[in-house]
Structure 1
Amino acid sequence: MHAETNGGPLDGLVIAVAGAAGPAGRAALLRLAGAGATVVAADADPTRLAEAVEAARQAHGAKVIGDTVDLLDLGATRAWADKTEKEFGRVDGLVHLVGGWRGAPSFAETDLKDWDLLEKLLVRTVQHTSLAFHDALLRGGGTGRYALVSQAGAHKPQAGNAAYNAGKAAAEAWTLAMADSFRKLGGEDGPQAAAAILVIKALVHDAMRAERPNAKFAGFTDVQDLADEIAGLWERPAQEVNGQRLWLTPEP
């Protein structure tokens, strides 16, 4: 099977989305498929994943495929990457949208069980997806992109968010190390793939607005705007994007 084409700006590209069943994932599926990409969506929740894939298929046909993958299992993640490349002949992107949050009333009241959970969701899934897709992204001939969504607190940690902020900071460092690998392997020609970080304050979507009609959500990034920024990573050369933090909220 090969990637379908429809003349969009991402025509013919194959992009994997990890954590595809949440609101940001759903927006990304619709945006990327609408721009012409074949999108391979993964999530640990098969029911929610099936709903997200079906919604995207209704909008864009069979260009969206769903795979239930345990991203906490490196072997399973590598198998997903290999299967995707074998089935479609290429992999042009991995969008990391696996999230999670736990906070504490104060720094001293931080529960390290929160760290145990967030380390898996925010760090281990980044490690596994980046290691699994690194080589395939390089084989894209300049189209490979690894996109991490991070949060401003990684740069200005807050007392009650120690576990969450530390997890995001670690994920950023890991992603920048991947970017350095792309840079070094590119040699004089420059990186042939790019790893980039999109930094937000928080995300907002229509259901949140409906639940809290009087809330301002100041500084929040709409999931549709995040999806636009993700899609835009393929509109710029790898050399411009690699190792960059793209701020969607003011830097702290």
Structure 2
Amino acid sequence: MRVVIAGAGSPAGNATASALRERGHEVIEIGPDECDLRDFAAVQALAERLGHVDGVIHLVGGWRGGGGLAGQSDEDWDWLQTMIVGTLRNTTRAFLDAIASSPAGRFAIVSQTGVAKPTAGNANYLAAKAAAETWLLAVGHALKDTPGRVHIERVMALYSDTDVEQNPDKDFSRQTHVTELGQRLANLFDPAE
């Protein structure tokens, strides 16, 4: 299968690409140098150029927040809604037909467990994540009469081997290692899923 990773190059993107390749899938890694996912016309052109794909895993985003509700700045909000929601809107609209026509078509995002119980210090971030989840569920509705499906993978936080090396005394037990996340996302493209 051909799977696009939007937001490639991060530890999560690299781990997901590795997990997919280990299972024999073709991985198309899209980072900022390959396409500006904030630009819908650019994403449309990318989708046309790539043609048939079976999956899009959206890993674009990042965290900004802290400082309680008063610390939720407009600058952070603009960045979060653009990177988390805007790029997701663009990729799902551009690749919708490809996913709808694939017998195993999948759109997937990674969200945060805090969406279910938001805090003031994470209000901007979690509002953007909740919007992304809602958007993806609406994409699922658009795919309801096709083989295409959507998937939301919620984690509390992600960590990598580098994080462990840099913070040897930190407790990562409640977080998800990027390798585990990559395996979970790769599972979406197994025949039994």
Q: How high is the TM-score relative to the length of structure 2? A: 0.96
What is the CA-CA distance between 1:215 and the residue it aligns to?
0.8
What is the CA-CA distance between 1:236 and the residue it aligns to?
5.8
Question: Match for 1:112 among 56, 64, 74?
Answer: 74
Question: Match for 1:39 among 27, 46, 63?
Answer: 27
Hey, what does 1:98 align to over in structure 2? 60
Residues 110 and 160 of structure 1 are in contact (CA less than 8 Å); yes or no, is this contact kept in structure 2? yes
Instruction: Give the greater-gyration-radius structure (CA).
Output: 1
Question: Match for 1:83 among 49, 71, 83?
Answer: 49
Question: Match for 2:92 among 103, 109, 130?
Answer: 130
Question: Match for 1:25 among 13, 16, 19?
Answer: 13
Gaps of 5+ in 1: 1-12, 47-67, 239-252
For 2:141, the aligned partner's letter is D
Percent of paired sites with the same residue: 38
Hey, what does 2:186 align to over in structure 1? 231
Residues 17 and 96 of structure 1 are in contact (CA less than 8 Å); yes or no, is this contact kept in structure 2? yes
**Which whole-Å deviations, capped at 9, do the CAs of 1:179-221 have from their partners, x for residues lacking one?**
11111xx1xxxx4111110000000100000000111113100
Residues 65 and 71 of structure 2 are in contact (CA less than 8 Å); yes or no, is this contact kept in structure 1? no
For 1:237 and 1:33, how far apart are their aligned partners in 2? 18
For 1:228, the aligned partner's letter is Q
Residues 91 and 136 of structure 1 are in contact (CA less than 8 Å); yes or no, is this contact kept in structure 2? yes
Gaps of 5+ in 2: none
RCO comparison, higher one (Cα < 8 Å, 6+): 2
| 1:224–1:43 distance in 2 versus 1, CA, 3 Å | same
Q: 4+ runs of 1 displaced by more than 2 Å? A: 235-238
Hey, what does 1:216 align to over in structure 2? 171
What is the CA-CA distance between 1:104 and the residue it aligns to?
2.2
What is the CA-CA distance between 1:112 and the residue it aligns to?
1.5
Q: After the TM superposition, which residues 1-252 of structure 1 pair with which residues of structure 2 at under 5 Å, given as runs? A: 13-44=1-32, 46=33, 68-85=34-51, 90-140=52-102, 142-183=103-144, 186=145, 191-235=146-190
Residues 113 and 154 of structure 2 are in contact (CA less than 8 Å); yes or no, is this contact kept in structure 1? yes
Matched length: 193
